[in-house]
Amino acid sequence: MSVALIRPLVVRTVAVSDPDDLLARLPDAAPYAWIRHGEGLVGWGEAARAAVPPGPGRFDWARGWLSSLFAGALIEDQVGVPGSGPVAFGSFTFDGDAQGTVLVVPRVVLARRGGRAWLTTIGDSAFDLVTPPREPGRIRYADGSLTAAQWEHRVARAVRRIKDGRLDKVVLARDLTAVAERDIDPRVLLGRLAERYPECYTFSVDGLVGATPELLVRHTGQAVESLVLAGTTARGGGPADDAARGAALYASQKDRHEHACAVASVREALAPLCSALHVPDEPELLVLPNVQHLASRVTGRLSDGASVLDVVAAMHPTAAVGGTPTGAALGVIRELEGMDRAGYAGPVGWIDSRGDGEWGIALRCAYVSGRRARLFAGCGIMAESDPAAELAEAQAKLRVMRYALEG
């Protein structure tokens, strides 16, 4: 366990004029971000940091550390909305027993939402110099943990496990390594992702940068919301092809079953926490620039005012990123995937001192360090899955971060 902080935190939040472009205000040193449709939060600097110990109690530990930290803070919050006052950005590893989960309270947070904007500073925070984003130059790619052929073979083995009756679904991920000509500036990636994928949640936390379409939970007071995605097809070559692909996805027995498993896992996780819960009877199509998804928006009202981290703890891992049943799927992932996911497919997002926040599942993302980036994509494997088709789907998902790197 590693903890670094300034204690007590002296926090001040004030209303400011609309910054219009949050990302344009970020310095290049370790930026933090959570942006959708130009709204959200960006931050920089470190007022406090914790490396969360792995294990089954990691979410409780994280909540306890933050509660103690925020309870001892001297807070002047002139705005009083979700995301004002002190805010922690976090990234949890997919595997609860893996090292790498981190919580960081930035020294400076700039936010805009619903026509309002505010600035939070901690201590005597100086504003870092904002330099122009730097292009990474030419990008070279190499296989990650497995080659494409090896990964297809693992998918085929997973299909056999499913047909043997060991489980209904498992999500298998693959990685790709990128090496740039120059150090990779996360602000370049964030800008491209936010512009091209405005429906997604563009994020940056401790080197993990991406744009996820999947909202694990939004927590505002006692209201909670989750956007469940499972079932995917690539975009078509034109309007007619696009519509046909969407219709085929919606009618696909395999994809509808995969989606139903994901929705059921969210329902089972949220039901014990909620006094009211609404789950749609049918999914809708979510159309993104590179793919189409089956999507269901689940909403509820918490019965006991739990923190957003309590909800995240109950929901992770969902069937959308693990499989069904969870225990069997995690066993197959460890057996076949051949890599450490780190924060990929883990919860990523932010929490404020009231327990409000937004957390997504870290999809369509990469770990960035110097000139190197490690890209991730995953696919839900079912009994009807074709390894070549699953590889094509993974490659379509990897195009998100390849675009962010290449432009």
Which of the residues are catalytic? 169, 214
370 three-state secondary structure: coil
Nearest 5°: phi and psi at 136?
-80, -10
Q: What is the Cα–Cα distance from 48 to 175, expressed in whole angstroms?
A: 31
Strands (E), 269-371: 274-278, 284-287, 291-302, 323-324, 347-352, 357-361, 365-369
Q: What is the Cα–Cα distance from 91 to 209, expressed in whole angstroms?
A: 11
Provide the token pair at 220: 């505002």
Q: What is the Cα–Cα distance from 381 to 402, expressed in whole angstroms?
A: 24
286 exposed, middle or buried (CB, 10 Å; 0-12, 13-18, 19+)? buried
Q: What is the Cα–Cα distance from 64 to 141, expressed in whole angstroms?
A: 41
Q: What is the Cα–Cα distance from 273 to 373, expressed in whole angstroms?
A: 38
Provide the token pair at 268: 């089972």
First to last CA, the chain: 38
Q: What is the Cα–Cα distance from 393 to 377, expressed in whole angstroms?
A: 9
Q: What is the Cα–Cα distance from 204 to 209, expressed in whole angstroms?
A: 4
45, 49, 51, 57: CA torsion to nearest 10: -130
